[in-house]
Amino acid sequence: MQRRQVLRVLAACPVCAAAAKSAMAGTGHEWGYNGDVMPDNWSELSEDYHVCGAGRQQSPIDLADATRADVDAVTTRWRAVSDFELVNNGHTLQANMPKGSVSIVNDKPYDLLQFHFHHQSEHTVDGVRYPMEAHFVHKSNDGDLLVLGIFLDEGQENDVLAPLWAVAPTSKGIARVAAEFHPQDLLPRSSSHFTYAGSLTTPPCSEIVTWVVYEETAQASKKQIADFAEVFPHNYRPLQPLNRRQILQGF
Ligand SMILES: [Zn+2]
């Protein structure tokens, strides 16, 4: 991640700089993962974050004791993109996707809005936490969210992520990725997944998310994980109680 390179990108693009400024102004109360604004305190930071503490369907959770079920696999119709925003918003690194990519679950279409990363993983599988987790955030016409989660385990360098890592801003700001990019290439081959009803894992923690977390992991090199961790040492929310929910496992 080369800060100088990013600054050059910003300097060359006044629109990006303006967008970065407004993104950095943010909406809502400041929150984080450490100190006074840590996850345990989110519900007290703002009335808007009440459900972070009072909710009964919060995410992330430990994916254990799942019930095998005949649930639909997700159909992803994602298109190749070129020229998109890569934002360091102070909480994560987020790639904003142009319109045109859709995922379908139970005949309901959801538009792919963005994907971003957590270090370490937010969900765990039978108590196992992975080095990273990518979240592909989708929204339906009626405002429901679908998030596809993909674990990143340490292994081979991830060629799909490499062009993003090369330009990712190391402090709050926006870079643009100009190379052709196929988000589909980040998906695991196996459609085996866990699904459950949950929430955003960041304030306001709204309980409007259908979660689909893939069992097969993607890989990233030790250096790729370390590069991300240098900018975001800890950006995952602690596990939340399952309460009366059921985790289904589909194949
Ligand atoms: Zn996330």
Distance in Å, CA 117 to ligand 1 centroid:
6
Residue 26, pLDDT score:
45
Which domains are assigned to the chain?
A: 3-250 (3.10.200.10)
Distance in Å, CA 135 to ligand 1 centroid:
5
Dist CA 44 CA 207 (whole Å): 18
Helix (H) / strand (E) element for 109: namely strand 108-118
The ranges of the chain with pLDDT < 70 are 1-28
Residue 29, pLDDT score:
87
Distance in Å, CA 217 to ligand 1 centroid:
16
Residue 179, pLDDT score:
87
- Show the tokens assigned to 58: 């919060």
Residue 72, pLDDT score:
83
Dist CA 36 CA 55 (whole Å): 21
Distance in Å, CA 67 to ligand 1 centroid:
24
Residue 69, pLDDT score:
93
Distance in Å, CA 246 to ligand 1 centroid:
21
Dist CA 112 CA 140 (whole Å): 9
Q: Which of 152, 157, 133 is nearest to 217 (CA)?
A: 152
Dist CA 166 CA 3 (whole Å): 10
Please, which residues have CB within 8 angstroms of residue 22's CB and are 6 or more apart in sequence? none
Distance in Å, CA 14 to ligand 1 centroid:
29
Residue 176, pLDDT score:
96
Dist CA 23 CA 140 (whole Å): 23
Distance in Å, CA 149 to ligand 1 centroid:
8
